[in-house]
Structure 1
Amino acid sequence: MDAGVFVSRSEAEATSFASALELYAKEVTSKKRSSVSELSRIQAMQRHPLALRSLASIRGSDIATYRDKRLRDGLAPSTVRRELALISHVFTIARKEWRMESLSNPVELIRQPSVDDARERRVLSADVWTQNDGKLVCVHLDELEMIRRHSRSIELPKIMTFAVETAMRRSEITGLQSNNVNLDKRVALLPLTKNGSSRGVPLSSTAVDILKNLAERDDGRCFRSRPDSITKAFADAIADARKAYTEGLFLHLKQKKISQDKIDKRIEADPFLIDLRFHDLRHEATSRLAEIFPLHELTKITGHQDTRMLMRYYHPKTEDLAKKLT
């Protein structure tokens, strides 16, 4: 103490993790754009037994136990990493701004769960069998057209097409304001995107036609749908489309006198309309745009900070690359 190097641990020992989370939510989370999702995460952590412990008593082994338990509970590694990042920042703020200099950050002492969430899902095409006047008719369709045909939402087909034409995120589409669209110049301005910067998106003729034919709204937004409603409408449309597809395929295979066991295996193994998410439309759009624009221009359209991140979304078909070779 005489030398001035003593650091008191009393405040860290008297502050519970739950109290620190509450203060963090008030001072830090409330100022974030993603405050709603982070507040939900904080509330869940406050119900965990670890929340009753003082900050000073939490060790790396405690966080490692927490990590392993969350993974055993079935949470995705990326979700657990976000939770650990939140815990880590709570300790950092406590040490730097709440006069708890004696605290060490227990998250820095453990391994992070490995995450491999890069997706290569592209839109598939297939022979779709449908009944027409009692006869089976075959039409070759891709998944997007199949989903459009079975959408219960009037607006979803337009939003799907717009997503594939622009590579815009779901939240960017639903938040697009009509006063930020210049149809003459074919440009849509996104003032604030996921990475915190603005971005201009060039509009194709198809995208322009969609915007021209939308009804004007009092709130200034181009589209009526909200992000959650798009996700639900997309999932419902996929379920209905998959059901129609498998029913037609079943009748077609039955006509060929294939055994029931083989039919079941064939349908179960068919990837058409399986594991397709709305965000995959951004993947599809990026891959299509990559055939037109070089990567350095593509980053300006999609909003990726560098080409390394863009490569997670850019998945050209190998056979298409082979065609470019002489």
Structure 2
Amino acid sequence: MRSSVYQRANGKWKADVALDDERRTKTFDKKSDAVLWQKENERDLLLNKRTREALDQRNIIVTVAEALRRYAAEVSEFKKTGKKEKQRIRYFIDTLPNVDFPLVKYRAEYLVQYHDMVMKRSINPLSASSVLRDYSTLSAFFNWCRRDKGWIDFNPVESVRKPKKPVHRVRRIETDEVDKILTALNYVPGTVPTTKMQQVGLIWLIAMATGMRSGEIVGRKIHDILLDRDCVILPDTKNGTSRVVPLDDYAKDLWTLALRIRRTNNSSKVFSVSDGSRDTLFRKARTVAKLDDADLTFHDSRHEAASVMAKRIKNALTLCKIFGWKDPKFALVYYNPTNDEIVDELNQSKFNPVYRKKVIKVTDDLKIA
């Protein structure tokens, strides 16, 4: 391919693009317009050539956008998180550079362009964790194209230098934050919710008491709540396995309130609010409570539950069983004790040897004196 942009004697800019026997030229007042036209026509000529070659060989060119749509229909559609993944794929089709390129010509450099663009934009830039999730989805897509369809023989995501994985959250929920959110949701602890906003308040308390995810709570059916056996049954969880969530007396009281919610249309679900509505209502309550700048999320309830339970359940494997973690390292991610909690545990007198008790007694006497 031959391509050039140059200024003529009259001050105008001329763009010239040629591939094989086809040539295109156009004159512009501005150089930037000429360069943009040049790039667009380079791509157009290249795609035309590839199309002709494919037709001659009786092959079919599959563009990245077409392959993404096929992946959404044939793979994402049948995933538990299919709805969100299909939404993300539509975002890729609208945002990824050169999605109209042939799939076989797609390169890692285009993904780097996407990475830089979405992380450095001034409005709603994506975090490193969001980009890493996108790369995970795209890697699965390209592997499907390679292994299942045979359309390509490489995965461009594997050649990309990815952003550094961010440090996991250590956010704990403060008591006053719970009070503010519940007030904003108009929910009084110990009462049976009569509105969807109040249901969100009870759902959040259950999440902090049990460590259950929002979707696991919202999607529960009445027959899943076994108060006589002190547990909630989760037949199908995020990681593809079933789970039994044990309930202490406080958690049982919360679920008892939930079971008394008035349901219409003979619904089998405990709550009438959907997970999407739950998210919207919680965000609105956070704004009303003036906590938008507090870096508080609903999912912090899972960290809170793990941190509180870890003080009572000393066996890390038991904690993994409760939360459904297949890898014990997740206990380190979700267990975030505060410094005061650690000090309180260190100061438990029953664990102090004699020599420590003698020192503590002397210093206590000095404080009294």
| TM-score normalized with structure 1 length | 0.77
1:310 equivalent in structure 2 = 331
d(CA) in 1 for partners of 2:182 and 2:58?
59
The one of 318, 329, 337 equivalent to 1:297 is 318
1:250 equivalent in structure 2 = none
Match status 1:89 vs 2:144: no
The one of 139, 142, 146 equivalent to 2:180 is 146
Instruction: Check conservation: 1:187, 1:201, Cα contact below 8 A.
Output: yes
d(CA) in 2 for partners of 1:60 and 1:157?
45
Code of the residue aligned with 2:61 in structure 1: it is A
Instruction: Go from structure 1 to structure 2 and tell me whether the alpha carbon gap of 1:242 and 1:52 turns closer, same or farther (over 3 Å shift).
Output: closer
1:65 equivalent in structure 2 = 113
Structure 1 unmatched runs, 5+: 1-8, 126-141, 244-271
Give the C-alpha shift of residue 12 in structure 1: 8.7
Give the C-alpha shift of residue 286 in structure 1: 0.9
Give the C-alpha shift of residue 47 in structure 1: 2.6
d(CA) in 1 for partners of 2:60 and 2:108?
16
2:240 equivalent in structure 1 = 196
Give the stretch that moved more between structures: 111-120 or 176-185: 111-120
Code of the residue aligned with 2:149 in structure 1: it is W
d(CA) in 2 for partners of 1:69 and 1:303?
36
Instruction: Go from structure 1 to structure 2 and tell me whether the alpha carbon gap of 1:19 and 1:197 turns closer, same or farther (over 3 Å shift).
Output: same
2:364 equivalent in structure 1 = none
Code of the residue aligned with 1:239 in structure 2: it is T
Give the C-alpha shift of residue 170 in structure 1: 0.5
1:52 equivalent in structure 2 = 100
Give the C-alpha shift of residue 199 in structure 1: 0.6
Instruction: Check conservation: 1:241, 1:273, Cα contact below 8 A.
Output: no
d(CA) in 1 for partners of 2:301 and 2:79?
27
CA displacement, residues 141-187 of structure 1 (integer Å, 9 cap, x when unaligned) = x2212322232422233222211111111111101111011111111
Instruction: Check conservation: 1:12, 1:54, Cα contact below 8 A.
Output: no
Give the C-alpha shift of residue 273 in structure 1: 7.7
| TM-score normalized with structure 2 length | 0.68
Code of the residue aligned with 1:58 in structure 2: it is Y
1:215 equivalent in structure 2 = 261
Identity %: 31
Instruction: Go from structure 1 to structure 2 and tell me whether the alpha carbon gap of 1:104 and 1:144 turns closer, same or farther (over 3 Å shift).
Output: same
1:131 equivalent in structure 2 = none
Higher relative contact order (CA 8 A, sep 6+): 1
Instruction: Go from structure 1 to structure 2 and tell me whether the alpha carbon gap of 1:273 and 1:224 turns closer, same or farther (over 3 Å shift).
Output: farther
Give the C-alpha shift of residue 233 in structure 1: 2.3
Instruction: Check conservation: 1:21, 1:42, Cα contact below 8 A.
Output: yes
d(CA) in 1 for partners of 2:269 and 2:226?
14
The structure number with the bigger radius of gyration is 2
1:33 equivalent in structure 2 = 80
d(CA) in 1 for partners of 2:273 and 2:174?
26
1:225 equivalent in structure 2 = 273
Counterpart mapping for 1:1-326 below 5 A: 14-48=61-95, 49-73=97-121, 74-100=125-151, 103-116=153-166, 118-125=168-175, 142-152=176-186, 153-213=197-257, 214-215=260-261, 217=263, 218-242=266-290, 274-294=294-314, 295-325=316-346, 326=352
Instruction: Go from structure 1 to structure 2 and tell me whether the alpha carbon gap of 1:232 and 1:24 turns closer, same or farther (over 3 Å shift).
Output: closer
Instruction: Check conservation: 1:17, 1:51, Cα contact below 8 A.
Output: yes
d(CA) in 2 for partners of 1:39 and 1:198?
25
Instruction: Check conservation: 1:143, 1:273, Cα contact below 8 A.
Output: no
Aligned residue pair count = 274
Code of the residue aligned with 1:299 in structure 2: it is C
Instruction: Go from structure 1 to structure 2 and tell me whether the alpha carbon gap of 1:15 and 1:273 turns closer, same or farther (over 3 Å shift).
Output: closer
d(CA) in 1 for partners of 2:327 and 2:153?
36
Instruction: Go from structure 1 to structure 2 and tell me whether the alpha carbon gap of 1:89 and 1:158 turns closer, same or farther (over 3 Å shift).
Output: closer
Give the C-alpha shift of residue 322 in structure 1: 2.5
Code of the residue aligned with 1:293 in structure 2: it is I
d(CA) in 1 for partners of 2:289 and 2:145?
51
Give the C-alpha shift of residue 210 in structure 1: 2.5
d(CA) in 1 for partners of 2:308 and 2:58?
56
RMSD of Structure 2 on Structure 1 (CA): 2.4
Structure 2 unmatched runs, 5+: 1-53, 187-196, 347-351, 353-369
Give the stretch that moved more between structures: 103-112 or 284-293: 103-112
CA displacement, residues 79-126 of structure 1 (integer Å, 9 cap, x when unaligned) = 2222222322222222222233x522111111112231511111224x
